[in-house]
Each structure stands twice: as C-alpha cells, then as structure tokens.
Structure 1
Amino acid sequence: MSKVFMGVRLQRLREERKLTQAALAKMLDISPSYLNQIERNQRPLTVSILLRVGAVLGVDPQIFSEHDSAGLVADLRDAFSELPDADTSLAELKTLVENMPGVARAVVQLQSRYRMAAERAAALESQFDDGNRGISVAPPSIDEEVRDYLNQRQNYIDELDQAAELIVDASAAALQQRLAERHGVTVLASHQSGPSLERRRYDAVQKLLWLPDTISESQRAFQMAAQLGLLELPGVIESLVQAASFSSDATRDGARLALSNYFAGAVRLPYRRFLQAAEACAYDIELLAGQFGVGFEAVCHRLSTMQRPGFAGLPVFFVRVDRAGNISKRQSAAAFHFSRAGGTCPLWVVYEAFSLPGQVLRQVARMPDGSTHLWIARQVSSGPAGFMAPGKSFAIALGCDISQAHRMVYAKGLDLANPDVATPIGNGCKVCERNDCPQRAFPSILRQKAAISRLT
C-alpha cells in the first residue's frame, strides 16, 4: 500500500465534528503531536490509524482512497489548460486533489459553468450574425453531474444493492406479480414506434405501468424492477438524492431515474450470485449474458458496479459511445478517466467495433502517463420499432488495469508484460501530449501552452 498523505481531509473531518487535536488524538490513542504531523502531511496515515479513524468518526476509510484522484486531476488539467496564463504543475494538481478534493471539484465546476456560459454567448452571437434564423442553446448537462456522483461512490450504492438482493425471483412474471400484490399496480402493453419510444410510463393515480410491446422479456423485467425501486424504496432514493446536493431539480430527477435503474440492474443481476459467476468464468461477458438472460451491455454495466466493501469484484471501466464519438455512458470503478474537453482517441479499439459487428475485440492500450490497460469492445444494436424507424447502434467498451488483466478470459494469448504490445492512445487530441500520433486531428492545447511559456 502506498503512503497516504491526506492530512487536510482528516483535519476537515475533525473540524466538522468540532473536535480539538488533543481530543481526537486521545480518541485515536496517539499523541497530539503525532496527529499534528499527520494533519500537516509530515507523517502518513497508516492502515491502523485509518481503521481507527473510520471507527471513531463513523466514516468509511475509503474516503481517503485515491480512487477518484486520477479523474479529478485530469479534470483540473482540462480546466487550467483553458487559462492561457495558468502555471500549474501535475504535482501541484495531485497535491490539491489529495488534500482538498472539495476545492478541486469546485474549481472544475466553476470551469464547467464558465465554458457553458461561453458556449451560450457564442450561440447567441451567431444567432444575431446569421439574421436571427434561430439557434437552439443546449441546456446544462444533467448526465455529467449524475455520473460524477456515481463515480465518486465507485458506482456502488450499498443501500440499493442490499435491498435488491432480497428479491429472490427477478423474472418478468414474478416482478409483475409483485407489483400487483404489493402495490396494486397493473402492467399494460403500449404500442409505440419511431424515435420517441419510451421505455415505461407510470400513472400513479390509476396505478398503471405502461411498457412498450416491442421490448424483450429481459427489458420488461428491467423496467418493472426500476419501477419497483421507486415504489418500495422512495425514502432511500430520496435521501441519496438530497445528500448529493445536486444543482437543479432536473438533475435531481435524473438522479432518481439513475438510482431506480441501478436498483433494477441489481435485481436482475444479484450481487453475490453474479460476482461468483463472473469469477468462475473469468469474466466472460457472453457466458454471463446467457446465464442471466440479459444483454452484453447489461453485463458490462453491472460489472462496473461490483465494488462492495470486503467483497469486491474486478475494478473495471465501462464506456458506451456512438459512431460520432459521443459518450453516452461512462462509469469507472478504478482510476481511469477520459477527458471531458479533449474528446476521445481514434486509436481506441472501441471505434473499431463498428466495423466488425458481433465480434469482441481486444486491445492493450497505454496512456501518455504510462498507465496501461486491457480493453475489450463490441458493437451492440437494437432494431427499429416499426417500419422505416431508425435503429440504434453503440460500441460498448470494458477495460481494466493491466495488473488485473490476467483475471479476464480476454487476456489469453496476449503478452501482457511486453510494452511493445500496447497501442499508444490518449485522452483526446486537444489535451494529448503525443507529438508522433498519426491520427492527430487538433494541435495539443497543453503543448501550445508549453511552447508559449518557453518563448515568454
């Protein structure tokens, strides 16, 4: 275990509980001078002290984990890269994140709001310049805020996961019966077609749940389980939403939907049984999909949530992209991050999946900071719900750190120890420092800033 220097986090916890250094030192059975040195980052937090802090202050010792650091450091680099005169080193950003994550997140949030305001101003300017033909201005991103909340919790919500495991029969018929018997809800089929297809519609007054007649049995079960979550755990979901301090009512609504969908995934793929099956087949996604009667994407999504304390699965990253490169899902149970500002990398195997539908592709990829990962990718599609209705096609990518890759069946036959096997990829051209990339589309903002600094 690496040494943990996060004294400011400990100091903040102490001050929130209105404890003096002497009082907390006595509770931890250490000297006040020792605690003072820890809070000033002159001594590391040892494992034994971390455990005592958790017990004494009633907090999860994982709040001192560096899990979220990589993503937050990358977000800060993005934020400062857009300031022409900002002079910050990677070491300074890491120190800020490790000691004052709240301040770091506030900086990222401020930069995000500034960028959104700048984009709105540019859109309004264009509206006047082109004869007032009308340009729609995109609303703030709800998904990003909800996604950040889930990633901060390592995509694991214990309150919902434990409750979901109590539902023994997760078949569509059993869930429909549970809705009827416990909540008086009748499930009806609705005929929908076209791009405006809704997954479910609930009438709380008449207690009617409408599900499209075009979705599969597995999708029906998922939607019923999600509605069950809202009906059986409203207090739990609401307390989670309120504790997260989201910025708007729309984001809170999005969080409720995300949490109900999380519950549905946990019902369909119960934690212990699913994790044991995953370990037994070396995380063979297609085998797991067949065993549990769900799709490829559902298995990948669930694998990114298997981080129960004391009984964790393989820490993975899960991404879903479309052909245009838009990332519609991004969850990480490990320290991996793709830039928000720089886009994604065309050398990443996820884009190759569109050319080879139905095949599981593999890639050992190395980031500019030297971190290396094993990625797998496959295209998934859903057919049209009516004549001439457009279908949907995505590429699903699942990855893990190279040190954990041997646990996956997809590592068979790969020389994981050979650095020449890895494909160099990046966070996206605008924030990637590689100068020898054959696929570079834009000059690097970071390299431009470095060049300007040398000239001045």
Structure 2
Amino acid sequence: MQQKLFIGPKIRRLREERGWKLEPCAQRLGLSTSYLSQIEANQRPVTARVLIAMMKVFDVDAASLDADDEQRLMADLREASADPLDEGPHPSLAELKQVATLAPNFARHYLNLHRAHRRIDERLKTTEEAISLDETVAASALLPYEEVRDYFHYRNNYVDSLDVAAEALAARCGLGPDAPVEQALEAYLRDTQGVAIRRVSGGDLMRRYDPASRTLTLNTVQPAETRAFQTACQIVAADLGGLIEKELAEAGLRSASAAEICRISLTNYAAGALLLPYETFRAAAADLRHDLDQLALRFQTSFEQVCHRLSTLQRPGARGVPFYFVRVDMAGNITKRHSATRFQFARFGGTCPLWNIHEAFGHDGRTLVQVAEMPDGARYLCLARSVLKRSGAYDQPDRRYALGLGCEIQYADALVYSQGVDLAGPAARIGVSCRICERDDCTQRAFPPVDRGFSVPRFERSIVPFSLTPPES
C-alpha cells in the first residue's frame, strides 16, 4: 500500500521563502486556495500530480519534498522524550507526530537541547568517576560522534557535491573494471601530486602523510583493499579538500571535536565515492542483484566498503535501493550506522536481541538472511555477516565486527538474497531497543519501555516477570 505523503510544513516554508502569498501560489500550482491551505496544514496528503507540479513551481527535486525527515524526527523525538533522565510525563505518539510534522525546526531544537542535556549528564558522571578513582578521563567522547552521525542521517547519507566530484576524479585516476586499483591510485599520486609511497610492516598504523618529504606511508599488514582506501583518502584530501571544507563550514556543527570527526567522515565518504563511482557502481549493483561478494570482487574493495557505499546511493533522479547499514562490535556497540530507510537505530542502550546481526558472530563469513518486522509494521530483508580484521601479530587481538545491511521488503526482489525466501511469510518481530519498543508480547524483553507503566504480579511468574500497562492514546 502506497504511504500517504504529508509534507505541509515543507510546502509552507518553500512558499514563504519565495515571499508568495497563499492565493498566488495556489494559482501557480493549479490548485484552489483552500486545497493548498489544507495541504500546508497537513489535513490532506499530496498526490503524485500535485507533487510533480510543486517540483516544477518551486524548482526543487523530489528529495527536497521527501517525508523521510519527519519519520526520522519522529523516531528521534520518541527516544529522546523517553529518556530515563527525564522524570516528567512522556508525550504521546500523537503529540510527537504533530511536533515532527508541524514544527520540525522546534523538534530539531529540542533534540539539540536533549543532546546538551546528555552531554552535561555524561560530564557529571565522568567527573564523579574521576574524583573517586583519582584518574583523568575523557568526558563525553561519544556525543561529538553522535552529532556527526546526525549530520549524515538527516542528509540521507548522501553528499552530492563530493559524490559528483569524486566520480569525475575516478575517471582522471583511470579507475575501471580491468584496472588494478591500488596501482592506478599510486600512479595518480606519483604523477599528479608528486607523492611517493613508503611501506612498513607491523603496528596499528594505517596511513601517515609527511608533507615535508611528500611521502605517504602505508602498512602492508592491512589487506590490499584497505591500503587502496587509505590511498584514496590521501588523494581526495588533496584534490577535493576545498569541497570538504565547504561542506564542513555549512554543517553547523557545535564543537571543534565534532568538526574534526566530520572532516574525517567527509574524507572517508569521498574516498568511498572515488573507489566506487556512483553511476558505474549503481549499474553494477542492479546488474548483479546486489550480490555483495561479486561487487567486492569487481571493484577490488572490501565487503564492508561495498555495504557502506550501497547505503549512500541516494542521488536525486538516480537513486539506488534505499539501504540501512550498521557495524556492531562484540559488545553490542554500534560503531557505524547509516539509514536511507525508515529503519531506526537506538541512540542509547542495546539493540534488539532478535535482530540477526547478533547471530552473525557465531557464523564466520556466512551471510545470514532474515525477514524482520518493526513495530510500525514495516518489513525488511536483513542481511548480516561477521568480518575479521587481522592485527598482524600473535600477541595483538584481532578485531571482529558484525555488519548489517537491509532494505524494505518492497525492494527485496532486487537482491539475490531474496531467492527462496518467503517474503510474505512469518517475520522476526524486532524493535529498536527494549527501552522504547512498543511490543507487549515479546519474551526477549530485557526491561520495560521507559514511557510505559508496568506491574509485577506477586503470585505468578512468566518469562518476562512484568506486564505492561496500555499505552497512552
């Protein structure tokens, strides 16, 4: 069933930015004034015909009129308002939806305040620990990373200027299906930037650039695809550095730490776009039905690099399948997360134990396939695989992660992994995290959601030792 598109606040903002009154704007769109007024008040959805008219009249692309922002805001607001640090009454889902759709700027301001609240709380806790342990520890290291993740999250994990520039740069580097990638990148560095490659073996170094000697040091312990990525990072830092700084200046990040992290993230983004040029990669993904191993072989990249790149194919007018991508360590920490779908990740606390990404750690190198359903009824084809990153030394531990990649079920036929899977059959009933999950009958629930009451019976015991009270309307 096609989801109805309610984008009233966006239409009103576009109209007001141009200084248009309601009646002249309605005439330009070929609508009655009352109809446009109802659309702006979110009382009526936008039809396909009206959407096309709005794109022409306001001179914007479809991405600018996407409703995904409201869905993301809705999920973020629900988790923030259910924070256990807030002891007041929690707003209902209906109230949160109104805020996300009718007052998106207020919603983002609230989320900024919530982040600041969390930052202060983390600093207080860290200070107390430092005093009790007589140690100096870093305060609130996670929050700048969360700010950068939000930056990419609300851009649909796509940065058009960098993506287009990196695609052109790939052609100048001579990258192609038959070209050895690492050698082509090294030749470009040598011939256009005068940079020499030096190789070392051992330790945890991945890349070091010495501007005085114009030498890039790489570690032979790392696999070829990792060395190629680090070389690509050096190339884009030099050739696309101005664009990276422009995007960074426009990001409006609130701290110097977040800006430093975002600079690295934008450089990594551009490096991925260089190794996997947009149109070439999108066409290959469709041709190979998103076979991750085949794509990695064709482009001489890693399984993880392919997964990450698939989650960025959101160019207006040439979008790929919208994917989420996540990387989790063995402790359950989410170290990477991107979503071009409605799929949401928990900001605080653990993820759902029924999600197949946790099972992947017990199946080395095997791609697990799961049909999963979120509490809102959205169904996903979820892929998960564990990857091992060697340390290169006996006395140093290897790093092990689980990678998750998935799309909504209506796109599943475009994936080779849907073969033999009953997409309409029973699905794993997963959630974001126990603390905000709406399900009443999950036997894997670790604790009650923070926005629901519960009771603990004295003379009865079930697998879950409490029952939830009905949600507020």
TM-score by length of 2: 0.87
1:266-305 aligned at under 5 Å gives the runs 266-305=273-312
Q: Give the equivalent residue in structure 2 for 1:67.
A: 68
1:254-273 aligned at under 5 Å gives the runs 254-273=261-280
Q: Is the 8 A contact 1:190 1:210 kept in 2?
A: yes
Shift of 1:20: 3.6
1:312-323 aligned at under 5 Å gives the runs 312-323=319-330
Task: Please give the alpha-carbon distance, in whole angstroms, between the structure 1 residues aligned to 2:272 and 2:216.
Answer: 19
Task: Please give the alpha-carbon distance, in whole angstroms, between the structure 1 residues aligned to 2:217 and 2:329.
Answer: 28
SS in 2 for 1:68: helix
Consecutive aligned runs of 4 or more in structure 1 exceeding 6 Å deviation: 449-455
Is structure 2 residue 443 aligned with structure 1 residue 438? yes
Task: Please give the alpha-carbon distance, in whole angstroms, between the structure 2 residues aligned to 1:352 and 1:306.
Answer: 27
Q: Give the equivalent residue in structure 2 for 1:242.
A: 249
Q: Give the equivalent residue in structure 1 for 2:462.
A: none
Farther-moved stretch of structure 1 (213-222 vs 136-145): 136-145
Go from structure 1 to structure 2 and tell me whether the alpha carbon gap of 1:454 and 1:362 turns closer, same or farther (over 3 Å shift).
closer
Q: Among residues 383, 393, 404, which one is paired with 1:397 in the alignment?
A: 404
Q: Among residues 155, 178, 187, which one is paired with 2:197 in the alignment?
A: 187
Task: Please give the alpha-carbon distance, in whole angstroms, between the structure 2 residues aligned to 1:454 and 1:383.
Answer: 48
Q: Structure 2: which amino acid aligns with 1:187?
A: I
Note the alpha carbon deviations across 1:312-360, whole angstroms, 9 max, x for none.
2211111110110000011111111022134201121111111111111
Task: Please give the alpha-carbon distance, in whole angstroms, between the structure 2 residues aligned to 1:372 and 1:5.
Answer: 21
1:347-366 aligned at under 5 Å gives the runs 347-366=354-373
Go from structure 1 to structure 2 and tell me whether the alpha carbon gap of 1:227 and 1:288 turns closer, same or farther (over 3 Å shift).
same
Q: Among residues 105, 108, 113, which one is paired with 1:110 in the alignment?
A: 113
Task: Please give the alpha-carbon distance, in whole angstroms, between the structure 1 residues aligned to 2:226 and 2:189.
Answer: 16
Go from structure 1 to structure 2 and tell me whether the alpha carbon gap of 1:112 and 1:401 turns closer, same or farther (over 3 Å shift).
same
Go from structure 1 to structure 2 and tell me whether the alpha carbon gap of 1:56 and 1:198 turns closer, same or farther (over 3 Å shift).
farther
Q: Is the 8 A contact 2:293 2:303 kept in 1?
A: yes
Q: Is the 8 A contact 2:167 2:278 kept in 1?
A: yes
Farther-moved stretch of structure 1 (247-256 vs 47-56): 47-56
Q: Among residues 81, 85, 89, which one is paired with 2:88 in the alignment?
A: 85
Is structure 2 residue 453 aligned with structure 1 residue 448? yes
1:122-141 aligned at under 5 Å gives the runs 122-128=125-131, 130=132, 132=134, 136-141=138-143
Task: Please give the alpha-carbon distance, in whole angstroms, between the structure 2 residues aligned to 1:304 and 1:454.
Answer: 34
SS in 1 for 2:123: helix
Farther-moved stretch of structure 1 (55-64 vs 310-319): 55-64
Q: Is the 8 A contact 2:196 2:214 kept in 1?
A: yes
Go from structure 1 to structure 2 and tell me whether the alpha carbon gap of 1:50 and 1:435 turns closer, same or farther (over 3 Å shift).
closer
Q: Give the equivalent residue in structure 2 for 1:13.
A: 14
Shift of 1:73: 1.2
Note the alpha carbon deviations across 1:12-55, whole angstroms, 9 max, x for none.
23333444435544554555555444333344444444344444
Go from structure 1 to structure 2 and tell me whether the alpha carbon gap of 1:401 and 1:453 turns closer, same or farther (over 3 Å shift).
closer
SS in 2 for 1:150: helix
Q: Structure 1: which amino acid aligns with 2:100?
A: V
Q: Structure 1: which amino acid aligns with 2:92?
A: S
SS in 1 for 2:406: strand
How many matched pairs? 449
Task: Please give the alpha-carbon distance, in whole angstroms, between the structure 2 residues aligned to 1:449 and 1:68.
Answer: 32
Go from structure 1 to structure 2 and tell me whether the alpha carbon gap of 1:26 and 1:271 turns closer, same or farther (over 3 Å shift).
same
TM-score by length of 1: 0.90
Shift of 1:5: 2.9
SS in 1 for 2:216: strand
SS in 2 for 1:431: coil
Is structure 2 residue 234 aligned with structure 1 residue 230? no
Q: Is the 8 A contact 1:70 1:337 kept in 2?
A: no
Note the alpha carbon deviations across 1:123-181, whole angstroms, 9 max, x for none.
333444x3645555333522222222222222222222222222232311121121222
Q: Give the equivalent residue in structure 1 for 2:145.
A: 143
Note the alpha carbon deviations across 1:89-130, whole angstroms, 9 max, x for none.
2222223222332221221221122122122223333444x3
Task: Please give the alpha-carbon distance, in whole angstroms, between the structure 2 residues aligned to 1:322 and 1:105.
Answer: 29
Is structure 2 residue 217 aligned with structure 1 residue 207? no
Q: Is the 8 A contact 1:66 1:98 kept in 2?
A: no
- Mark the runs of 5 or more structure 1 residues left unpaired by the alignment: none
Q: Structure 2: which amino acid aligns with 1:291?
A: R
Note the alpha carbon deviations across 1:43-98, whole angstroms, 9 max, x for none.
44444443444444443332221223333212111111133333422222223222
Shift of 1:388: 0.9
Q: Give the equivalent residue in structure 1 for 2:460.
A: none
Shift of 1:402: 1.6
Q: Is the 8 A contact 2:221 2:391 kept in 1?
A: no
Task: Please give the alpha-carbon distance, in whole angstroms, between the structure 2 residues aligned to 1:132 and 1:409.
Answer: 55
Q: Is the 8 A contact 2:82 2:90 kept in 1?
A: no
Task: Please give the alpha-carbon distance, in whole angstroms, between the structure 2 residues aligned to 1:302 and 1:221.
Answer: 15
Q: Give the equivalent residue in structure 1 for 2:376.
A: 369
Task: Please give the alpha-carbon distance, in whole angstroms, between the structure 1 residues aligned to 2:3 and 2:444.
Answer: 36
Go from structure 1 to structure 2 and tell me whether the alpha carbon gap of 1:440 and 1:4 turns closer, same or farther (over 3 Å shift).
closer
1:413-424 aligned at under 5 Å gives the runs 413-418=420-425, 421-424=426-429
Task: Please give the alpha-carbon distance, in whole angstroms, between the structure 1 residues aligned to 2:362 and 2:3.
Answer: 42
Q: Is the 8 A contact 1:341 1:431 kept in 2?
A: no
SS in 2 for 1:307: coil
Q: Structure 1: which amino acid aligns with 2:39?
A: I
Go from structure 1 to structure 2 and tell me whether the alpha carbon gap of 1:379 and 1:43 turns closer, same or farther (over 3 Å shift).
closer
Farther-moved stretch of structure 1 (433-442 vs 356-365): 433-442
Report % sequence identity: 41
Go from structure 1 to structure 2 and tell me whether the alpha carbon gap of 1:312 and 1:134 turns closer, same or farther (over 3 Å shift).
closer
The CA RMSD over aligned residues, in Å, is 2.6
Task: Please give the alpha-carbon distance, in whole angstroms, between the structure 2 residues aligned to 1:89 and 1:187.
Answer: 58
Task: Please give the alpha-carbon distance, in whole angstroms, between the structure 2 residues aligned to 1:308 and 1:375.
Answer: 23
Q: Is the 8 A contact 1:53 1:61 kept in 2?
A: no
Q: Is the 8 A contact 1:432 1:446 kept in 2?
A: no
Go from structure 1 to structure 2 and tell me whether the alpha carbon gap of 1:217 and 1:152 turns closer, same or farther (over 3 Å shift).
same
Task: Please give the alpha-carbon distance, in whole angstroms, between the structure 2 residues aligned to 1:357 and 1:378.
Answer: 7
